[in-house]
Amino acid sequence: MLAGCSSPEPAAPPVPQPAFVPFEGPHQAGITTLPIPEQGLVASFNMHVQDRAGLRTTLQELTEEIRGLMAGKPPETRDPAYPPVDSGILGDKPPPDNLSIVVGVGASLFDDRFGLADRKPRELETMPFLANDRLDPKLSHGDISIILEAGHNDTVQFALRQLMRRTRSELTLRWMIDGYARGIGAGQTSEAVTPRNLLGFKDGTANLDVDDGALMDQHVWVQPGDGEPEWAVGGSYQAVRIIRMFVEFWDRTRLAEQEALIGRKKVSGAPLGMTDEFADPDYVEDPDGKRIPLDAHIRLANPRTTQTEQNLILRRGFNYSRGFDGAGRLDQGLAFIAYQRSLQKGFLTVQSRLKGEPLEEYIMPVGGGFFFVLPGVTGSDRFLGDQLVD
């Protein structure tokens, strides 16, 4: 800044230092921890053990590995006559990189293999075909979901390989997708940091405030008295949707049309007719949709009425880009991930309101699944899902 200038520019928000995310807590940390790191990966696994005891051991091993990974535990050195105990991708001391790992279970885990049918979360089901879906079975469902997030892709890949190595005879990969571009600070209400999706719009502007514990209890965490099995209290329903975007078609669409489809300005992220990204879209003042069309994505997703308040969800997805298809079109999209206390009241209701939205012409859900994220772990003798399997 020039000496003598009387109006200093506002200071840029401080960039948080990379850290180790604490593993223990009443809920799995990766759902709400901030900042949301730039890299993400969803992996779904098939479980190959035969009985409840085998499942118990697998969950114990996963937990032990995740504990070490999230704390940056250095790998043991070993006699060179044996393979090393880790891939070495991160050198001899994994640096702090905001790594978090979240484990969920799919409806298929509650079939007759482990005798857990009577412990299934009430609303957990195999994700059905929904509006506009072309679900590829090779990219859908699974017994276990693992979501990894970190500041760098090598940290994510390191953690994934360690987890797979540890559980190689119990878990096999069914599908996975990795992605990026959430931006440091995503999820915090500061215009400078809201990341953009691959349609070029800011994504995450209107989301639940993860620092508001009461709000999280209300909309994200299963509570006692919800009619869910006791072990599930503190967990959350996870809806994963791999949604391809027809980006070449989108890029040929008029800007005014793009903004009408979303309901927000592309550059600023403000609701149409407004200038502040975080302004309330004020639908009461616009009952006929003259400013924000009635079928705009944000208006259908959250009409902001007293009644639809119960349908709020926590979104924490990421962009993906995985080459191109046989017709030479880019294979890009959104790995949409949402957390909610009730799948019916949350994702499924929001999705049913979006059914037939004009944005559907530009997107196509191709995979994903419904999972139930296990409650967090409190105490060094406990493990993820212990109350489910004991």
Interface with ligand HEM by CB under 6 A: which residues?
197, 199, 201-207, 241, 243, 245, 262, 264, 297-298, 301-302, 313, 334, 336, 347, 350-351, 354, 363
Please tell me the distance from the alpha carbon of residue 204 to that of residue 221, in angstroms, as a whole number: 20
For ligand HEM, which is the closer residue by CB, 18 or 303? 303
For ligand HEM, which is the closer residue by CB, 37 or 385? 37
Least distance CB 301 / ligand HEM (angstroms): 4
Least distance CB 203 / ligand HEM (angstroms): 5
Please tell me the distance from the alpha carbon of residue 316 to that of residue 336, in angstroms, as a whole number: 7
For ligand HEM, which is the closer residue by CB, 61 or 360? 360
Least distance CB 363 / ligand HEM (angstroms): 4
Tell which residue, 100, 98, 95, has the closest CA to residue 29.
100
φ, ψ of residue 224 to 5 degrees: the values are -60, 145
Please compute Rg for the chain using Cα positions. Answer: 22
Contacts of 341 (CB under 8 A, 6+ apart): 218, 219, 220, 221, 222, 223, 226, 236, 237
The percent of the chain in helix, strand and coil, each rounded to the nearest 5, is 25, 20, 55
Place of tokens 């995503």: 186
Q: Which helix (H) or strand (E) holds 251?
A: helix 247-251
For ligand HEM, which is the closer residue by CB, 46 or 218? 218
Least distance CB 320 / ligand HEM (angstroms): 11
Q: Which helix (H) or strand (E) holds 144?
A: strand 144-150
For ligand HEM, which is the closer residue by CB, 216 or 334? 334
For ligand HEM, which is the closer residue by CB, 175 or 250? 250
Least distance CB 148 / ligand HEM (angstroms): 21
Least distance CB 379 / ligand HEM (angstroms): 35
For ligand HEM, which is the closer residue by CB, 300 or 389? 300
Least distance CB 146 / ligand HEM (angstroms): 21
Count Cβ atoms below 10 Å from residue 346 Cβ, excluding itself.
Answer: 24
Least distance CB 23 / ligand HEM (angstroms): 28
What tokens appear for 121 in the block?
């979360």
Please tell me the distance from the alpha carbon of residue 225 to that of residue 147, in angstroms, as a whole number: 28
Please tell me the distance from the alpha carbon of residue 182 to that of residue 203, in angstroms, as a whole number: 9
For ligand HEM, which is the closer residue by CB, 113 or 341? 341
Least distance CB 249 / ligand HEM (angstroms): 13
Please tell me the distance from the alpha carbon of residue 309 to that of residue 320, in angstroms, as a whole number: 30
174 within 8 A of 242, measured Cβ to Cβ? no
What tokens appear for 8 in the block?
């200093």
Q: What is the DSSP letter of 43?
A: E
For ligand HEM, which is the closer residue by CB, 75 or 187? 187
